[in-house]
Structure 1
């Protein structure tokens, strides 16, 4: 499959048009849902997670969508350096709880085990990111809960562009229920 552009926002807009609710709204009513609780106040916090340029790369959260238990979030890798950057493969990520401790969730390579979004059923390819340009990956999971004792809720992600590269701390609510997994697509280029 030859992919020229796969951006999370058009994909997410398509999900919304298919009857999905926007983040922060109930799929049944379209009304606002209560805000999620703030992280524990008993924990000493480091600086708030914001996108930063580290070694010429910046990772940030893109568009988000929540639909009937399926969650989809774009992750953007921007070249904030002065020379082209090459990458192949999947982002390396960990889901962290409100105290920034890793959750026991499997991170699957490829989104096929969680959803059948055709534009994201791709194999890793070499991507060259020019200065100022970006690549994108899609993080997906399902909020399914059959046992309220083993619910996994994350509030942060640690994401690296690839193994051995610096990790970026990002704020993201990940309500994976007790599925025990999230899935990530490989990096794909944007024009």
Structure 2
């Protein structure tokens, strides 16, 4: 009987500390900030936000949301095979940046992302991909928002994208802000 009474007070003491509020809660100090270390940009397969529908040659293209971190911008481009046969891609999408009137801006879109930023998953040599019906391939468009001369700032409202040079273009709504860097980079298509 004596042992049972000893365990009950110990249990009460142990439970007494659960769910209680401290007498002096820690106050936030405005003079102390916790540095936020940005995660590296690594766009994944985007949730389609703007899509072209199924157009020639049996593909649809879409862009995701822009991921912005410390002046570096990245957006995923998805090619979906909406046809009935295997669709082959090799190399880089062809991309032009358009203004609000759909005129091509003076922005060079380079093959590869290395001239803008190194993104491991996408900084690879192009290779042939056979995309089955319903399958996808992805690429990433990257740029830096740098402005040194307000008179020459480029702001895009659309992108014109073709799966490869010479193929039909798809115009997609996408706000871009490469400032006056004059360049962007597009990765090769990779398996999605």
Class of the TM-score when normalised by the shorter of the 2 chains: 0.7 to 0.9
Report the Cα offset of residue 17 of structure 1: 6.1
Shift of 1:64: 2.6
Q: TM-score, normalised by structure 2?
A: 0.73
Q: What's the counterpart of residue 182 of structure 2?
A: 180
**Which aligned pairs between 1:1-191 and structure 2 lie closer than 5 A?**
18=39, 50-55=51-56, 56-190=58-192
Q: Which residue of structure 1 lines up, in the alignment, with residue 27 of structure 2?
A: none
Q: Secondary structure at the match of 1:149?
A: helix
Aligned length: 147
1:151-177 Cα offsets, whole Å, 9 max, x none, are: 000000010001121100100001000
RMSD of Structure 2 on Structure 1 (CA): 1.7
Equivalent in the alignment of 1:35? none
For residues 6-52 of structure 1, give each alpha carbon's deviation from its aligned partner in whole angstroms, at most 9, with x where no partner exists: xxxxxxxxxx96288xxxxxxxxxxxxxxxxxxxxxxxxxxxx7421
When residues 50 and 129 of structure 1 are mapped into structure 2, their CA distance, relative to the original with a 3 A threshold, is closer
CA distance in 2, matches of 1:116, 1:93: 19
Q: Which one has the largest radius of gyration?
A: 2
* Distance in 1, Cα, partners of 2:116 & 2:51: 28
* TM-fit CA distance, 1:119: 1.4
Taking structure 1 as the reference length, what is the TM-score of the superposition?
0.73
Provide the rounded CA distance (Å) in 1 between the counterparts of 2:53 and 2:109. 24
Q: Is the 8 A contact 2:66 2:74 kept in 1?
A: yes
Report the Cα offset of residue 125 of structure 1: 0.1
In structure 2, the gaps of 5 or more residues are: 1-36, 42-49
Moved over 6 A (4+): none
Q: Tell me which of the two structures has the higher relative contact order, counting C-alpha pairs closer than 8 angstroms and 6 or more residues apart.
A: 1
Structure 1 residue 62: Cα displacement: 2.4
